[in-house]
Amino acid sequence: MHKVAIVGRPNVGKSSLFNRLIGRREAVVADFPGVTRDVKEGVMLYENHRMVLMDTGGLWSGDEWEQAIREKAEMALHDALAVIFLLDPREGLSTADYEVAEWLRRLDKPVVIAANKIDSPLHEAYLAELWGLGFGEPVPVSAEHARGLDTLMERVLEHLPTDDEDVPEIAPIRISLIGRPNVGKSSLLNAILGEERVIVSEVPGTTRDSVDAEFNFAGQRFVLVDTAGIRRKPDTSIEEYSMQRSETAIKRSDVIWLVINATDLGDHELKLANLAYESGKPVIVVVNKWDLVPDEDLKRTTKDLDQKLFHISFAPRVYTSAINDYGIHDMLAEAMKLYAKWQSRLQTSELNRWLEIWQVRQRVPNFHGKPLKMYFMTQAETAPPTFVIFCNRADFVTRAYENFLHNRIREDLDLAGIPVRLVWREKGPYKKGKKGEQDEEAPVKK
């Protein structure tokens, strides 16, 4: 797909325009500059043209991130076929605007000037100054009110070749990297992509929004999502919104990489593990910075992991180092394996054969001489695998026995590493009511 980049100085509305064009709120928007630092991508469809739209950080910001943001934007523009240069003419052209214009001329890319915040024809008088930048006629737009977007895209399409690319039929595996701030999520993403795609800094909270990156490995397409670090208690409103965006990314994912700093294990890992587990997605515990653990501390560190992550002990672990690329391929291979299991469907006959074996292997709960009877088992859903067991009394099912069945399902049905769900239904399949009709189903216990 063809790529189009949105560039400009801070706080001119690049993320607002990005969200409006792709039709959903993907990028964080705030009333102060410097929110976007990395390059964020989103696929948009306009009149049968599929393209990748890129939202870049504010250029010539004048802060400590200026150089890093410009480097990432320049890498993004390397593959872009057109550039939308967004300006706020109501504030007048600033020195930063002229610097960005000169930078774009050196890159020699087709540029379309978009004048944002032109909410009505009365504001078009502000456009005159923009002609002096030398990029032709500016297009008046309003990202907030969706004004002038068709004209803008028509100008952009003039610089794009005919879109005759076949759309891939196989959807990519979407993987989110979650973890506390500064555990190395961005470093791992850069190591996998083989390029400095996102900004890496020792300052916690550098990544403020979820960043998507497409990647191919062993013939499989991936979308890797670098999320903002999830704190126990957000310090600012932007951190709180970034955390919400991270939680949304988890819900949209197929596989989750829970990234942990091997040298700094905390109680917050427990909350993150719960968040990942409750999503119903396969979870891979990525123990990063493993190269920094001294040999004499390896056993102790492993024991700490076992204790803190006991409730998701079924989740596979991968030990990595973003510095020397150790374990990177293992992360991707494990994700492919779990994704296939997550979407697998088992035959009913096989499930019921195992159900009989499990009842022999472990005595069923018995209350006052009345045992739990399990009549039938079937798989109702995939992703995550959800199994329905028909029984005589759902309230006879104890937590210990349900945990036993969860473990047996993962081990005997080759679903290791996959969160599975059990649904209990009180229904005797051989019980007949009046006129040969079956009794109504009792409430479901999940």
- The verdict on whether residue 352 carries a ligand-binding annotation is no
- The verdict on whether residue 229 carries a ligand-binding annotation is yes
- Give the pLDDT confidence score for residue 310 in this predicted structure: 82
The reply to whether CATH 3.40.50.300 applies to domain 2-157 is yes
Q: Which residue, chain included where needed, has tokens 């500064």?
A: 182
- The verdict on whether residue 58 carries a ligand-binding annotation is yes
Check: CB of residue 144 under 8 Å from CB of residue 171. Answer: no
Q: How confident is the model at residue 446 (pLDDT cuts 50, 70, 90)?
A: low
Check: CB of residue 246 under 8 Å from CB of residue 228. Answer: yes
- The verdict on whether residue 178 carries a ligand-binding annotation is no
Report pTM.
Answer: 0.67
- The verdict on whether residue 118 carries a ligand-binding annotation is yes
- The verdict on whether residue 81 carries a ligand-binding annotation is no
- The verdict on whether residue 34 carries a ligand-binding annotation is no
In the predicted model, what is the mean pLDDT of residues 237-254?
A: 70
Instruction: Note the pLDDT tens digit of each residue in 9-36.
Output: 888 888 889 988 887 655 444 343 444 5
- The verdict on whether residue 109 carries a ligand-binding annotation is no
432 or 96: which carries more pLDDT confidence?
96
| pLDDT over threshold 90, residue 207 | no
Distance CA 301, CA 394 (A): 41
| Cα 328 from chain centroid (whole Å) | 18
| pLDDT over threshold 50, residue 295 | yes
Q: How confident is the model at residue 211 (pLDDT cuts 50, 70, 90)?
A: confident
What separation in angstroms does the CA of 32 have from each of 7, 12, 141, 184? Answer: 17, 10, 20, 27
Q: How confident is the model at residue 183 (pLDDT cuts 50, 70, 90)?
A: confident
- The verdict on whether residue 357 carries a ligand-binding annotation is no
Mean pLDDT, the chain, as a whole number? 82
- Give the pLDDT confidence score for residue 192 in this predicted structure: 92
Strand partners, 223: 174, 214
Superfamily of structural domain 348-445: K homology (KH) domain (3.30.300.20)
Distance CA 417, CA 80 (A): 40
Structure tokens of 8?
Answer: 């400009």
| pLDDT over threshold 70, residue 331 | yes
- The verdict on whether residue 35 carries a ligand-binding annotation is no
- The verdict on whether residue 295 carries a ligand-binding annotation is no
- Give the pLDDT confidence score for residue 245 in this predicted structure: 65
- The verdict on whether residue 418 carries a ligand-binding annotation is no
Which fold is adopted by the domain 173-342?
Rossmann fold (3.40.50)
- The verdict on whether residue 121 carries a ligand-binding annotation is no
Domains 2-157 and 173-342 equal at CATH topology level: yes
**Pick from 189, 196, 231: nearest CA to 211:** 189
- The verdict on whether residue 291 carries a ligand-binding annotation is yes
Distance CA 184, CA 67 (A): 21
| pLDDT over threshold 50, residue 440 | no
Distance CA 27, CA 8 (A): 16
What separation in angstroms does the CA of 421 have from each of 59, 372, 378, 410, 424? Answer: 48, 19, 12, 11, 10
- The verdict on whether residue 14 carries a ligand-binding annotation is yes
Domain ranges of the chain: 2-157, 173-342, 348-445
206 or 94: which carries more pLDDT confidence?
94
Structure tokens of 445?
Answer: 């216990």
Check: CB of residue 430 under 8 Å from CB of residue 419. Answer: no
- The verdict on whether residue 344 carries a ligand-binding annotation is no
3-class DSSP assignment, residue 7? strand
| pLDDT over threshold 80, residue 275 | no
- The verdict on whether residue 116 carries a ligand-binding annotation is yes
Instruction: Note the pLDDT tens digit of each residue in 372-381.
Output: 999 999 999 9
Which of 234-248, 305-319, 400-414 is modeled with the greatest confidence? 400-414
**Pick from 13, 72, 314, 346: nearest CA to 190:** 72
